[in-house]
Amino acid sequence: MSGTENFVNRFLSIFSAKVVTSLTAIVSTPIIVRLLGPGGYGDYAVWLSVYSLYMIPISAGITEGVQKFVGEDRGMDDWRAYVLRFYLQLAAVMVLVGVVGLLVFTSLGGAAMLFDDDFTRYFYFLTVFVLVGQFRAVTGRTVLGLGLEPISESLKVVKKFAIIGLGIALVAIGYGVTGMMVGHIVANGLVAVVAGIVILRRVSIPALLAGPERDFPYRELLSFNVLNIVLVLLVMSLYHVDIVMLRSFTGAETTGFYKAALALAEYLWFVPIAFQTILLHTSSSLWSDERLGTITSIASRITRYTTLLVVLMAVGVAVLADRFVVLYYGSEFIVSVTPLLLLLPGTIGFAIARPLQSISQGSGRLTVLIMAVSVAAGANVVLNALLIPRYGMNGAAVATSIGYGSMFGLFVWAARRIGYDPLHDFRASRIVATVVVTAPFIWALDAAIRSDLVALLLVPVFGGVLFSIVAIRVGAIDVEELYDIGERLPGPTDRMIVLLDRLA
């Protein structure tokens, strides 16, 4: 598979699925919040965070490893089957250790000691989720590494619908937080089975069941796994340390308010996540062919495009935050507005950095990335420990925003050490000029509209059109680039670009 073969179509498969799952989350989150209440939603968020952190040593190196190496062409017969066999065996051993450890910890009262008695029951459900989630992750990443993005992303949509549908139904009939847990377990089990069937139709089963191959680079794969576990642990700590620490220092209700703000801020990531998903196995092929010029060109464009889009979205969120939070979550969540605004600067930085993480991972030089992320993760833990006891969820937001934001600068440094320049054509001054010119008009329009619903409908449309026109006029993005993108996108995108070109 060529590193750039059908890149746009494959990206669109991931992007489309991400749009669907994001819209599903946007619609379902206020329902879940209202059914569970701030306290229940806070406990649910903690349960998910504990799962994500616990799965790092069990799963992180395996899932990203199978995606990277299945996507490569080493010139060995049945290479993909050998890679999959290695990772399935490793996954089984690791999850067995993880499940036994979690059962022992919970039975000895560890969960209740960390949080409260309800978490003993929650942790037993967590044990089942760890087991099912391991094989869902391995099979899902294998499908992705095989270049089957349409199938992989369709399964993510199915999983999201199953979690939400079953989870909300169980919560509504009185199962509370446990109902959402069951939704996660059943949905992940379903996707694991379907993905497994897809894989078995494309991989040699005799080779999958055969004995070890002498020429297979076990040491290389294990080295990548170990280093990637460290990397993912550091990155994931940025997502979850604040939630766990806030729950320990304050309580379930405050954690629920903070998680609501965090969920809204993280919606800015759906396009960067789509890039991040496809770039790991795509860039691995480019690195193996030593196509450094292509890597720099892709990284530079993606960095600039991501920055423009995420900054536009962040301006809209900041302007509409007070209106949207109340309508979305309910009036009691008005306290979530301040931490949301505090999180936005860092969320922008992390959004821009996410695609760079995958491109750098594709090179296999993880030590440099680990050095970079260690700085951000260490600062994040220290700042949360200092600020949460004094400032509560606002302190958590400031600490996390600083940790998130530092990732951009650190990943640029890491990229240059690895051998490519993501800022080759960044146009920072022109991006700043676009924001400086556009933001006051968007704010003024919001201030002039009294109706919340009207503002939520008009401000994003007006802001998006104005931002695009200014970006073209100041040269943050070229018209030729827009036409090039439009030719590759389905639907009436080309006509929209023509209209923007004329308005600019």
Return the closest-CA partner of residue 366 out of 220, 215, 236: 220
Helix (H, G, I), strand (E, B) or coil at 504: coil
Q: What is the DSSP letter of 212?
A: -
**How many other C-beta atoms are found inside a 10 Å radius of the C-beta of residue 251?**
15
Q: DSSP character for 268?
A: G
**pLDDT tier at 496, thresholds 50, 70, 90:** low
Question: By mean pLDDT, which of 212-221, 261-270, 439-448, 468-477 is the weakest?
Answer: 212-221
Q: What percent of the chain has pLDDT over 70?
A: 87
Angle value at C-alpha 258, between 261 and 451, nearest 5 degrees? 40
- The rounded percent of the chain whose pLDDT value lies above 90 is 23
Average pLDDT of the chain, as a whole number: 82
Distances, alpha carbon 281 to alpha carbons 5, 73, 358, in Å: 12, 11, 8
What digits encode the pLDDT tens for the residues 381-399?
999 999 999 988 999 999 9
Domain boundaries, the chain: 7-426, 427-504
pLDDT category, 104, cuts 50, 70, 90? very high
The residue with tokens 């925003």 is 401
**Tens digit of pLDDT for each residue in 4-31?**
445 556 666 676 777 788 788 878 888 8
Task: Give the C-alpha separation, 127 to 112, whole Å.
Answer: 15
Name the residue type at position 220: E
Calculate ∠ Cα 489-495-498, nearest 5°: 110
Both structure tokens of 352: 């821009």
Instruction: Return the pLDDT at 499.
Output: 47
Quick count: other Cβ atoms within 10 Å of Cβ 197?
10
Two tokens at 283?
């860039």
Average pLDDT estimate for 413-439: 89
Q: Over the stretch 372-383, which tens digit does the pLDDT of each residue have?
A: 989 999 999 999
d(CA 367, CA 88): 25
Query: Which residue type occupies 26?
Result: I
Average pLDDT over residues 169-197: 91
Closest residue by Cα to residue 51 from 116, 134, 115, 160? 134
Q: Point out the least confidently predicted range of 84-88, 295-299, 453-457, 486-490.
A: 486-490
Kindly state the average pLDDT of the residues 120-128.
92
List the single range of 232-236, 275-279, 393-397, 401-405 with lowest mean pLDDT.
275-279
